[in-house]
Structure 1
Amino acid sequence: MITVFRADRVVVDGAERPAAVVVEGERIVAVLPKETDVGGARDVLLGADEVLLPGLVDTHVHVNEPGRTEWEGFATATRAAAAGGVTTIVDMPLNSLPPTVDVAALEVKRKAADGQCSVDVGFWGGAVPGNAGGLRALHEAGVFGVKCFLIDSGVPEFPPLLDPEPALREVASFDGLLIAHAEDGDLVTAAHGRRYADFVASRPAASEDSAIAGLLRAAAATGARVHVVHLSSAGALPELAAARAAGVRVSVETCPHYLALTAEEVPDGDTRFKCCPPVRGEDNRDALWAGLADGTIDMVVSDHSPCTPDLKSLETGDFGQAWGGIASLQLGLPVVWTEARRRGHSLAEVVRWMAERPAALVGLGRKGRIAAGCDADLAVLAPDGTFTVGELHHRSPLTPYAGRELHGVVRATWLRGHPVDGDDPRGRLLTRGEQGP
């Protein structure tokens, strides 16, 4: 069957315009003028208040299954993703058990995900002490890259790479990708108590800046391709820009919480806001937006990292004891759009940050764009619509956005030409390289 999506506003080639998006089977086959007659097709007509977007691609999601499925699982995470207009996620190698640090663990992860997913799912591998010799095998088994921590990860089964250079040399040998949680443990102190300002002080911006500088030096020495995850310190932006200008192959992401929240607004004791690295001050947030606008920051992804409610230590409000992670997979698009529109950014820019560039990072050439040959992954957004954050599809009910009014209502999501309703898990397990280089 041929389906034609017709809308006055379609994000195509970096801009909005009227269009008819023609879908045959699972692929987009043409983008035509809106009123073009396509004989025998079924029409899907968008409302005057709706925009057709490519499905978002979120390359930073902690699903946690198997092993910690009570925190989050593939069924709940992918339903939440679809409800937020996300049609592809890439799952992090922790905090599942076993962590995805070898091919056997990857197969355990894939088996756990199979048949449960409402959206397409890919996987990162892990780089930990002692497994550099196995990174090529993970790459050949289809992971999109390998992640390391340069500081304690919070779970003992995924120890940090205090010296990432051996892993970088191995990754460079097969032109893979290493992504890094960059904080310098020598500059981080133990956190305790209810004061959010004390928690931020325990993980200062200098710890990020230092770790990123070291990562960039190692990347320059090895020629490896690297990606900095969840940047929260705007102080690292000049060094990142300089390294890129000098030929270092580095890309950078930030997250909705760093773009929407500020340290000044976090109530003492409200550990729903705890994440590592932390949400910082308003001036820092403004500088991150500037880095996003000028291209130093490439993309925005969720770092969805939920846990069971007890691990957030809400009863004590102790930021030192609470798990660090923010549940936001379903809310990333409206959170970013609410702040972006206030700052004068367009939906086309948001699509570039949250769909096109994450897809490019992991080589998913048929994802993140509305273009002939791409998968028919689509989202229908009412950008001027508002809603108050309430019940979510995430397994964890805790989020710092609870009760907030946000702009951007996702009214429908389509995966490879089929509407996603959460009851028919059509999501596929993706492998690096299957959509071309």
Structure 2
Amino acid sequence: MSSLVVRARRVVLPDGERAAAVHTADGVVTAVTGYDDVPPGAVTLADDEVLIPGLVDSHVHVNEPGRTEWEGFATATRAAAAGGVTTIVDMPLNSLPPTTTLEALHVKREVAQGQVAVDVAFWGGAVPGNVDQLRPLHEAGVVGFKCFLLDSGVPEFPPLDDAGLRAALTELAALDALLIAHAEDPDVIAAAPDPAGTSYAAFLASRPPAAEETAIGRLVAATRDTGARTHVVHLADADALPLLRAARAEGLRISVETCPHYLTFAAEDVPDGDTAYKCCPPIREVAHREALWSALAAGDVDLVVSDHSPCTPELKRLDVGDFGLAWGGIASLQVALPAVWSGARARGVPLTDVVRWMSAAPARQADLATKGAIAVGRDADLVAFAPDERWTVDRLLHRNPVTPYAGRELTGVVRRTWLRGEETHGSPRGRLLRRGGVAS
């Protein structure tokens, strides 16, 4: 029986941080004991290292098959492991075929098998005309369903109108399955100025905060009418928080995430023509960033995930710097933890909070019961993290290392990552997971 014991003066556990030894066998945590209660051969972390649970990133666009030149399972999961992320959940779009049918899920699993360096679960997609596929996909183990409320940017993943949204939610409510939504309103955006050109201010004006608020209002109403469970992905507009707070006070089952780029950057600092910063919804002004940090502290935002959405350098149109032409998406899977920790540390937010937002909360949201904590019975997914070490972002492992983090100094270095009790070095030993956290 394979076993590993790791001890550290600082271990982030579900009930707080303390010195401890974590005992594992066959990839599962079997005991958490005092620091000195270890057998010979135990791994002892350095004094400047903290042992944390492997992160769970429930918002990753792997893009394989079909757009593997953008990203792929091998490259994405190697980057994840290097960043202390031991489980990712793959988004259903940007791959060809998209994960909107049971057959497409089988295709994606077949392609991923044998390639992944960390554990991988899958979202299904909710698009017009596939209500009959939602139950089969749910029964096959997807963790929930992603939809867009406006054009997704790829024609094979069209958006749901209000009737389609309610039809999907009615079916998902019967399954108690989760719908996650890209919430921007197409009519608000259609009435906004054209984003063409190198001006970041013009791009920001083309996707105003009202687009998020209107779409979230539509989602709240549909959640109320159907009794379903819903979730808002990548919130950038802090002015939408009162809507969500009121919906939850009403008893609606609606949750919300934000992303490292909304917590790190601010519109005032984005250089004109630097399309590496383009994402949708856009990085907003510093007031939104600070309000999102406050909302996390207050529990009004539930989790932080990367929304890793890379593409080829050509699609980013760095050659012309045109925000209207460039693909929208930020690549950040490998740097999500140090990016968020750098911001948290500067604001006096403890590492225990960051771990909750980036490990426990996304594991719970995606119903991955074996992930998200250093606790008996959970997978022995562990990370040695040096929270005080400073470094400059380079040597990125995802396929196309175009990112606004390049060259940025961050604090916090992932030194070692263990997946189910074995140290990872980017080798393909991850598993494909079904909802619940069991291997598929």
Normalising by the residue count of structure 1, what TM-score does the alignment of the two structures yield?
Answer: 0.98
One-letter identity of the residue aligned with 2:395: E
Which residue number in structure 1 is paired with residue 136 of structure 2?
137
Which residue number in structure 1 is paired with residue 344 of structure 2?
340
Is contact 2:384–2:415 with CA below 8 Å preserved after alignment?
A: yes
Q: 1:321 aligns with which of 325, 336, 339?
A: 325
Separation in 2, partners of 1:187, 1:83:
40
Give matches, 1:355-370, under 5 Å. Answer: 355-370=359-374
Which residue number in structure 2 is paired with residue 172 of structure 1?
173
Separation in 2, partners of 1:230, 1:290:
16
Worse overlay, 131-140 or 179-188: 131-140
Which residue number in structure 1 is paired with residue 282 of structure 2?
278
Separation in 1, partners of 2:219, 2:26:
44
Separation in 2, partners of 1:117, 1:336:
25
Which residue number in structure 2 is paired with residue 52 of structure 1?
51
Separation in 1, partners of 2:330, 2:152:
15
Q: List, as ranges, runs of 4+ consecutive aligned residues in structure 1 with deviation greater than 4 Å.
A: none
One-letter identity of the residue aligned with 1:134: Q
Give matches, 1:21-420, under 5 Å. Answer: 21-38=22-39, 42-163=41-162, 164-188=165-189, 189=192, 190-420=194-424
Which residue number in structure 1 is paired with residue 430 of structure 2?
427
Separation in 1, partners of 2:438, 2:64:
26
Is contact 2:5–2:38 with CA below 8 Å preserved after alignment?
A: no
1:82 positional shift = 0.3
1:391 positional shift = 2.0
| 1:34-60 deviation per Cα after TM superposition (whole angstroms, max 9, x unaligned) | 01144xx53001000000000000000
Structure 1 pair 425–254 and aligned structure 2 pair: CA distance change class (3 A): same
One-letter identity of the residue aligned with 1:168: L
Is contact 2:382–2:417 with CA below 8 Å preserved after alignment?
A: yes
Which residue number in structure 1 is paired with residue 10 of structure 2?
9
One-letter identity of the residue aligned with 1:338: S
Is contact 2:131–2:167 with CA below 8 Å preserved after alignment?
A: yes
| 1:186-232 deviation per Cα after TM superposition (whole angstroms, max 9, x unaligned) | 01144201000000100001100110011011001100000110000
Q: 1:21 is paired with a residue of what secondary structure?
A: strand
Q: 1:253 is paired with a residue of what secondary structure?
A: strand
Q: 2:80 is paired with a residue of what secondary structure?
A: helix
Count of residues in correspondence between the two structures: 433
One-letter identity of the residue aligned with 1:433: G
Is contact 2:7–2:45 with CA below 8 Å preserved after alignment?
A: yes
Q: 1:314 is paired with a residue of what secondary structure?
A: coil
Is contact 1:9–1:17 with CA below 8 Å preserved after alignment?
A: yes
Structure 1 pair 236–360 and aligned structure 2 pair: CA distance change class (3 A): same
| 1:347-405 deviation per Cα after TM superposition (whole angstroms, max 9, x unaligned) | 10000000000000011111010011110000110000011011200101100011111
One-letter identity of the residue aligned with 1:156: P
Worse overlay, 78-87 or 239-248: 239-248
Is contact 1:55–1:85 with CA below 8 Å preserved after alignment?
A: yes
1:130 positional shift = 0.6
Q: 2:276 is paired with a residue of what secondary structure?
A: helix
Worse overlay, 186-195 or 301-310: 186-195
Q: 2:42 is paired with a residue of what secondary structure?
A: strand
Normalising by the residue count of structure 2, what TM-score does the alignment of the two structures yield?
Answer: 0.97
1:14 positional shift = 4.0
One-letter identity of the residue aligned with 2:401: P
1:433 positional shift = 3.1
Structure 1 pair 37–393 and aligned structure 2 pair: CA distance change class (3 A): closer
| 1:128-171 deviation per Cα after TM superposition (whole angstroms, max 9, x unaligned) | 00111211111011110010000100000000002211111110
Separation in 2, partners of 1:37, 1:15:
21
One-letter identity of the residue aligned with 1:137: P
Q: 1:105 is paired with a residue of what secondary structure?
A: helix
One-letter identity of the residue aligned with 1:23: T
One-letter identity of the residue aligned with 2:174: S
Worse overlay, 363-372 or 58-67: 363-372
1:176 positional shift = 0.5
Instruction: Say what the alpha-carbon RMSD is for the aligned residues.
Output: 1.0
In structure 1, list runs of 5 or more residues that go unmatched: none
One-letter identity of the residue aligned with 1:408: G
1:434 positional shift = 4.7
Separation in 2, partners of 1:49, 1:385:
9
1:435 positional shift = 4.8
1:342 positional shift = 0.3
Is contact 1:14–1:352 with CA below 8 Å preserved after alignment?
A: no
Which residue number in structure 2 is paired with residue 20 of structure 1?
21
Q: 1:327 is paired with a residue of what secondary structure?
A: coil
One-letter identity of the residue aligned with 1:13: P
Separation in 1, partners of 2:281, 2:15:
31
